[in-house]
Amino acid sequence: MNIPADLRYTPEHEWVRIEGETATIGVTDYAQGELGDIVFVELPAVNATTTQTQPFGAIEAVKTVSELFAPLSGTIIAVNAKLGERAELINQDPYGEGWLIKIKLANQDEVKKLLSAEEYQKQIA
């Protein structure tokens, strides 16, 4: 299982890559494996806002539908449009081409509440 050390994680299996005031968000390798074949993802519009721990979308796999929870509060500055046609990118490359949204952070202090790779590894063990 792939858990990159340079990312932060949520207990709900989202990952976050922080670059300055921008956070790229996706679902973890563990989550995509548990979900199985992902067939659809519902994402918010650009300029919508997210609130830490609150739902921002949904992910549908062959066997279930799950809500997506915002790891951080902010304003959505990009949505991965490729997922509209190819939701399976989340299964194939969860930390790369399968990213979900990018947000401009509203509160940098919220990052401290996220899990490290080591803490996330312990949670899913």
Q: Give the whole-angstrom CA distance, residue 112 versus residue 97.
A: 26
Which CATH number does the domain housing residue 69 bear? 2.40.50.100
Q: Residues 41, 59: contact at Cβ < 8 Å?
A: yes
Residue 85 in domain: yes
Parent domain of 38: 12-109
Residue 104 in any domain: the answer is yes
Tell me the pTM.
0.96
pLDDT per residue over 71-106, tens digit each? 999 999 999 999 999 999 999 999 999 999 999 999
Tens place of pLDDT for every residue, the chain, 125 residues? 899 999 999 999 999 999 999 999 999 999 999 999 999 999 999 999 999 999 999 999 998 999 999 999 999 999 999 999 999 999 999 999 999 999 999 999 999 999 999 999 999 99
**Domain contains 18:** yes
Q: How many domains does the chain have?
A: 1
